[in-house]
């Protein structure tokens, strides 16, 4: 892809109603705008992008009081995601006891590992999470 920017911005009533809707929007953006020429790397990068999209949007609905804004854009070889919700609570990483299984709490550490950068910014109505993912 050239240095052009491609994006999908969604707000208000047009917000994704679910993580699946958000994944579809990101996948459409990736399909339209990004071609790396390396099918294997593209598949892994796309899977990571869709997984992080799903995690952030799911958390906005489950823990954040609902999704209040969503955007995705590609610049160069990177996907920029922005997910805002209505809660001021920061994402939590749970401590784990080795050998003991617990339900939940795996998504945020996974998103941290898969992204180039991940930040949380307080807003007047909650918080915004910005993720940058490499696409190649």
Q: What is the CATH number of the domain that holds 70?
A: 3.30.565.10
Q: How far apart are CA 21 and CA 132, in angstroms?
A: 20
Count of CB atoms situated within 10 Å of the CB of 34:
20
Residue 62 lies in a domain: yes
Q: What is the pLDDT of residue 98?
A: 74
In a domain, 59, yes or no: yes
**pLDDT attached to residue 1:** 45
What domain range includes position 37?
A: 5-87+105-134
Would 27 be classed as within a structural domain?
Answer: yes
Residues in contact with 132: Cβ distance below 8 Å, sequence separation at least 6, in sequence order: 78, 79, 80, 81, 115, 116, 117, 118
Q: How many domains does the chain have?
A: 1
Does residue 116 sit within a domain? yes
Q: Is 95 domain-assigned?
A: no
Report residues of the chain scoring pLDDT below 50. Answer: 1-2, 11-12, 40-41
């Amino acid at each position: 892809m050239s240095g052009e920017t491609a994006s999908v911005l969604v707000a208000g009533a047009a917000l994704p109603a679910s993580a699946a809707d958000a994944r579809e929007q990101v996948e459409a953006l990736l399909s339209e705008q990004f071609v790396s020429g390396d099918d294997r790397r593209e598949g892994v990068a796309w899977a990571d992008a869709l997984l992080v999209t799903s995690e952030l949007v799911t958390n906005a609905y489950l823990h954040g009081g609902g999704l209040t804004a969503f955007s995705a854009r590609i610049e160069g070889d990177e996907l920029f995601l922005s997910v805002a919700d209505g809660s001021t609570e920061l994402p939590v990483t749970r401590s784990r006891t080795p050998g003991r299984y617990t339900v939940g709490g795996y998504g945020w550490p996974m998103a941290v590992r898969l992204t180039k950068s991940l930040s949380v910014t307080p807003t007047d109505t909650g918080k915004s999470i910005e993720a940058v993912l490499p696409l190649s």
